[in-house]
């Protein structure tokens, strides 16, 4: 599946989303204008608004509020990346230099603040459900911050457990997928049974999406950022956790020590990556990924058959097979 096919399927709804998204970003301040134009020309996968609109369609009704939820989800997502690139001191994203590396941390934080506020305003202008939607998105913003804090705390100690890892990826990634799916269902007037099913779909899909991201960080240069980035940032993710699982405690401790010392010894990145390769870390993580994708698809069971539902199924498969 190509993501552009989803846009074609969404047709008019997709252009309404794009119009609202572009409108939300207008500013007369020259540097902000330039920054927003730069970000808009390197737009990324746009997976979140696609997910949002497909969910509303699968519930049978794309409303003005559904378009707003789609726009808010992409605005919020980009806001978090602008802040994340400062936290991670990332030089490149989506194959191009980050705003942080071009204009500095201050500009990246301020641009992120702007996109965050535009997401809030987009939801505030919803006519029927603004309060409930704002509560959902606020909950996710808290989760995102908590997830980043937990990840930062763990990165400094190299002691991330499997449970910590699952907590981190729920908070930093799956929470937004969950909110997008619930919010999109609410705006479409879905029953609470269907909304609940879609909320669970969002959680499983978000977990899968992040696990695939973490696999790709070991597997190739396809993401537009260098391989081994997570290790350099002190992040212990599923491929390494799976490779560690089979080892004796003493070996586990020595590998964790290597990760801990990466800031002083860059050569440790290649050594840990080799350890993951030799112990089938990415293949084992791919089994967990497959389980999440399978569960995500099962969550769609209660939805009536429709083309939009079929696309949601394909989107779940995409999270397993994507290469970027
Ligand atoms: C990317 O993950 C980052 C996130 C999914 C969340 C970032 C959230 C924050 C910085 C806190 C909240 C921010 C706002 C604006 C409220 P990653 O670093 O694993 O992936 P990457 O390799 O794409 O950077
Ligand atoms: Mg990052």
Pick the residue whose CA is nearest to atom 6 on ligand 1: 172
Q: Among 172, 217, 234, 324, say which to mutate for ligand 1: greatest number of ligand atoms within 8 Å of CB.
A: 172
The answer to whether the Cα torsion of 321, 241, 276, 279 is positive or negative is negative
Q: Among 42, 86, 142, 144, say which to mutate for ligand 1: greatest number of ligand atoms within 8 Å of CB.
A: 144
Pick the residue whose CA is nearest to atom 4 on ligand 1: 172
Say which ligand is closest to the CA of 237: 1
User: 81 CA to middle of ligand 2, Å?
Assistant: 7
In the predicted structure, residue 246 carries a pLDDT above the cut 90: no
Atom number in ligand 1 closest to CA 86: 10
pLDDT for residue 223: 52
Is 3 in contact with 51 (CB distance < 8 Å)? no
pLDDT for residue 226: 65
pLDDT, averaged across the chain: 96
What's the pLDDT tens digit per position in 147-162?
A: 999 999 999 899 999 9
In the predicted structure, residue 9 carries a pLDDT above the cut 80: yes
What's the pLDDT tens digit per position in 159-218?
A: 999 999 999 999 999 999 999 999 999 999 999 999 999 999 999 999 999 999 999 999
What's the pLDDT tens digit per position in 91-113?
A: 999 999 999 999 999 999 999 99
pLDDT category of residue 221 using cuts at 50, 70 and 90: low
- In the chain, the number of structural domains is 1
Say which ligand is closest to the CA of 229: 1
pLDDT for residue 228: 87
Q: Which residues line ligand 1 (CB under 6 A)?
A: 79-80, 83-84, 87-88, 90, 112, 116, 141, 144-145, 148, 172-173, 225, 229
What's the pLDDT tens digit per position in 27-85?
A: 999 999 999 999 999 999 999 999 999 999 999 999 999 999 999 999 999 999 999 99
Give me the long-range contacts of 255-262 (CB less than 8 A, separation at least 24): 256/158, 256/159, 257/158, 259/158, 259/231, 259/234, 260/157, 260/158, 260/234, 262/231, 262/232, 262/234
Atom number in ligand 1 closest to CA 90: 24
Q: Is the whole model's pTM more than 0.75, yes or no?
A: yes
pLDDT for residue 311: 98
In the predicted structure, residue 142 carries a pLDDT above the cut 60: yes
pLDDT category of residue 324 using cuts at 50, 70 and 90: confident
pLDDT category of residue 145 using cuts at 50, 70 and 90: very high
- Residue 172: which CATH number? 1.10.600.10
List the domain range (segments joined by +) for residue 12.
Answer: 3-321
Give me the long-range contacts of 146-153 (CB less than 8 A, separation at least 24): 146/171, 147/171, 147/172, 147/173, 147/175, 148/84, 148/87, 148/172, 151/235, 152/87
User: 193 CA to middle of ligand 1, Å?
Assistant: 31
């Amino acid at each position: 599946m190509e993501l552009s096919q989803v846009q074609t399927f969404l047709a008019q709804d997709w252009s309404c989303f794009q119009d609202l998204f572009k409108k939300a970003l207008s500013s007369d301040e020259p540097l902000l204008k330039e920054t927003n134009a730069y970000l808009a020309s390197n737009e990324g996968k746009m997976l979140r608004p696609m997910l949002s609109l497909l969910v509303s369609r699968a519930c049978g009704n794309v409303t003005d509020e559904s378009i707003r939820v789609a726009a808010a989800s992409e605005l919020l997502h980009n806001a978090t990346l602008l802040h994340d690139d400062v936290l991670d001191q990332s030089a490149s994203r989506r194959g191009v230099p980050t705003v942080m590396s071009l204009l500095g941390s201050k500009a990246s934080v301020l641009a992120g603040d702007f996109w965050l506020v535009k997401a809030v305003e987009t939801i505030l202008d919803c006519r029927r459900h603004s309060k409930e939607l704002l509560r959902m998105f606020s909950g996710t913003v808290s989760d995102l911050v908590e997830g980043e804090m937990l990840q930062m705390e763990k990165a400094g100690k190299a002691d991330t457990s499997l449970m910590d890892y699952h907590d981190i990826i729920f908070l930093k990634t799956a929470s937004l997928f969950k909110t997008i799916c619930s919010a999109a269902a609410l705006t479409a007037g879905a029953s609470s049974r269907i909304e609940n099913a879609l909320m669970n779909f969002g959680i499983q899909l978000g977990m899968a999406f992040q696990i695939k991201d973490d696999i790709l960080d070991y597997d190739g240069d396809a993401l537009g950022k260098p391989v081994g980035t997570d290790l350099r940032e002190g992040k212990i993710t599923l491929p390494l956790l799976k490779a560690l699982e089979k080892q004796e405690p003493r070996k586990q401790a020595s590998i964790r020590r290597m990760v801990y010392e990466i800031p002083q010894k860059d050569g440790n990145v290649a050594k840990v990556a080799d350890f993951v390769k030799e112990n089938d870390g990415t293949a084992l993580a791919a089994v967990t990924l497959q389980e999440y994708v399978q569960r995500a698809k099962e969550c769609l069971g209660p939805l009536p058959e429709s083309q939009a539902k079929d696309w949601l199924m394909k989107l779940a498969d995409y999270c397993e097979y994507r290469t970027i």
